[in-house]
Amino acid sequence: MVDSDLKDLFRDVLTDEPPITASIQEDLARGRARRTRRRQRRLTVTGAALAAAGTTALLVPALVDDDPVPAASDEVWPYSTSASSDVASVVPQFGGPMPSSADAGPESDATADPLERVVWAAVRSALPADLSPTEPGFAVQGLGEGYGLSFTAVRGEAVFTVDVVVQAAPPELGVFRPCTEPAQTPDAVDLWSACSQGWDDEDRWRVVGHAGDVTGVAVAEGGSAAVTVVWSTLIDHRPSDQKDLAGTFSPEEANAIAEAAWRAGSRYDADELVVGTGPGWDVDAVRRDFQGIEAILEAAAGPVEELSADTSRDHVAATYATQAGNVTVTMWASSERYYAGLCWILTACEQWPGSIDYFAALDDSAPSMGSTAVAIGRQLQVAIDTTGTNGFVDFVMPITAALGMTSAQE
């Protein structure tokens, strides 16, 4: 008997297979219900955390003051950067020979971008000795304007993904302050835990912390380069209720990876660290898109009347009355910062827990649970608020599909 025979045995076992009676609508309903329960749990936990931190608010004026930005001198990076010199010593010189490695990855891939190979070699050198990347690193698409690497890591019992993005440093450092300025999102106030931020002894802005239960983030910005390291246990074998970041990276280890990637990236000029097109912002083009949206709404729900339109430097928004109710569509330019935007994957929206400009385009209005936001290419982010409708018409898919096609044609 060979393998195929064993497969035949399995097939025989399945011969009394019943017809499938479950409906997709039931699957959707279960998924929505689970998602709602998780949200409610998060809100409860966050509320309790904020209540417990009530007295702490006095000690953390950034949460309540009108001017929350403390003086730079008040925020000293608590971690040592001395260990980075060890990391730097193994970072290959730009243009120099790549370190030999039997493992597959961008550094051994002749087709990979040279900078990508340098960054990967640096990151690999900074990984803890007992951690093994189970997949070759590869360029991450859609993660801001820069170079991205992504791999899955196994360390003991923990299985987690690691993204490392190297970008040009932002014009203004110290803007991203998740430890003291939590982002408000539709899910909750994203108060980071195990969070530290500050200026290190090389005048770089540094951040390390846990953005929720399953995501860790480390940031290093200064000179020409900015690095964001994101590690997540979301795709892990443990039950979702038991997932956390235990056994992944300590803050020091995450900092070392950010440090290594930063040192690799900082050997390049800022211009060399920009990949892809700039965010761009052509109000006229966006207005043209809106005319298309009006037609889409009309096709979906009959006659449409534009109730209001708002075109500003930062965003374009319009509210339409349809026979199914009112729909508001808002568009704004994607940020080039990996951590800043709400939506950071293409043609869908993965909510970034540290988003700092999510509601900038929505005039700081309260987040609506009925809003759906998507990223359209690297250029545009769109929020579609259908809370004023009767819920019987799907406006989101036709709009995003049309905009996605437009973006793809550009």
Partner 1 sequence: MPAIDEAAYGEYVAARRRALLRTAYLLTGDWHAAEDLVQETLTKLYVSWRRVLRRDDLDGYARKTMLHAYIDSTRRPWRREHAVDVVPDGGGSGDPADGSDPRARHRLLTALAAVPAGQRAVLVLRFWEDLSVEQVAGLLGCSAGTVKSQSARGLDKLRDLLGTNEFALVEEG
Q: Is residue 30 a contact point for partner 1 (CB under 8 A)? A: yes
Q: Is residue 237 a contact point for partner 1 (CB under 8 A)? A: yes
Minimum CB separation from partner 1 for residue 26, in Å?
Answer: 8
User: Dihedral of the CA atoms 129, 226, 381, 187 (nearest 10)?
Assistant: 50
Minimum CB separation from partner 1 for residue 81, in Å?
Answer: 32
Looking at the DSSP assignment, which residues form a beta bridge with residue 158? 155
Of 169 and 346, nearer to partner 1 (C-beta) is 346
Query: Taking CB under 8 A as the criterion, which residues in 151-210 touch partner 1?
Result: 152, 154, 157, 159, 161, 186-187
The region, left, alpha or beta by phi > 0 then psi within -120 to 50, assigned to residue 344 is alpha
Q: Which one of the spans 19-27, 53-61, 307-315, 331-339 is the region binding partner 1 (CB under 8 A)?
A: 19-27
Q: Is residue 321 a contact point for partner 1 (CB under 8 A)? A: no
Of 260 and 300, nearer to partner 1 (C-beta) is 300
Minimum CB separation from partner 1 for residue 343, in Å?
Answer: 9
Among residues 49, 202, 238, 323, the one that binds partner 1 under rule CB under 8 A: 238
**Widest CA span in the chain:** 76
Query: Taking CB under 8 A as the criterion, which residues in 341-380 touch partner 1?
Result: 345, 348-351, 369-373
Of 10 and 284, nearer to partner 1 (C-beta) is 10
Total site size for partner 1, rule CB under 8 A: 56
Q: Is residue 129 a contact point for partner 1 (CB under 8 A)? A: no
Minimum CB separation from partner 1 for residue 295, in Å?
Answer: 20
Q: Is residue 17 a contact point for partner 1 (CB under 8 A)? A: yes
Q: Is residue 235 a contact point for partner 1 (CB under 8 A)? A: yes
Q: Is residue 223 a contact point for partner 1 (CB under 8 A)? A: no
- How many Å separate Cα 73 from the centre of its chain? 29
Minimum CB separation from partner 1 for residue 96, in Å?
Answer: 33
Among residues 234, 295, 299, 405, the one that binds partner 1 under rule CB under 8 A: 234
232 close to 216: Cβ distance less than 8 angstroms: yes
Q: Which of 148, 112, 120, 145 is nearest to 275 (CA)?
A: 145
Q: Is residue 278 a contact point for partner 1 (CB under 8 A)? A: no
The three-state DSSP-derived secondary structure of the chain is CCHHHHHHHHHHHHHHCCCCCCCHHHHHHHHHHHHHHHHHHHHHHHHHHHHHCCCHHHHCHHHCCCCCCCCHHHCECCCCCCCHHHHHHHCCCCCCCCCCCCCCCHHHCCCCCHHHHHHHHHHHHHCCCCCEECCCCEECCCCCCEEEEEEEEEECCEEEEEEEEEEECCCCCCCCCCCCCCEECCCCEECCEEEEEEECCCCCEEEEEECCCCEEEEEEEECCEEEEEEEECCCCCCCHHHCCCCCCCCHHHHHHHHHHHHHHHCCCCHHHHCCCCCCCCCHHHHHHHHHHHHHHHHHHHCCCEEEEEEECCCEEEEEEEECCEEEEEEEEECCCCCCCCCECCCCCCCECCCCCCCCCCCCCCCCCCCEEEEEECCCEEEEEEEEEECCCCCCHHHHHHHHHHHHHHC
Q: Is residue 308 a contact point for partner 1 (CB under 8 A)? A: no
Q: Which one of the spans 5-13, 121-129, 271-279, 309-317 is the region binding partner 1 (CB under 8 A)?
A: 5-13
Q: Is residue 24 a contact point for partner 1 (CB under 8 A)? A: yes
Among residues 54, 95, 96, 239, the one that binds partner 1 under rule CB under 8 A: 239
Minimum CB separation from partner 1 for residue 194, in Å?
Answer: 21
Q: Is residue 288 a contact point for partner 1 (CB under 8 A)? A: no
Minimum CB separation from partner 1 for residue 204, in Å?
Answer: 28
Of 13 and 129, nearer to partner 1 (C-beta) is 13
Minimum CB separation from partner 1 for residue 24, in Å?
Answer: 5
Binding site for partner 1 (CB under 8 A): 1-3, 5-18, 20, 22, 24, 27-28, 30-32, 34-35, 38, 134, 152, 154, 157, 159, 161, 186-187, 232, 234-240, 345, 348-351, 369-373, 396-397
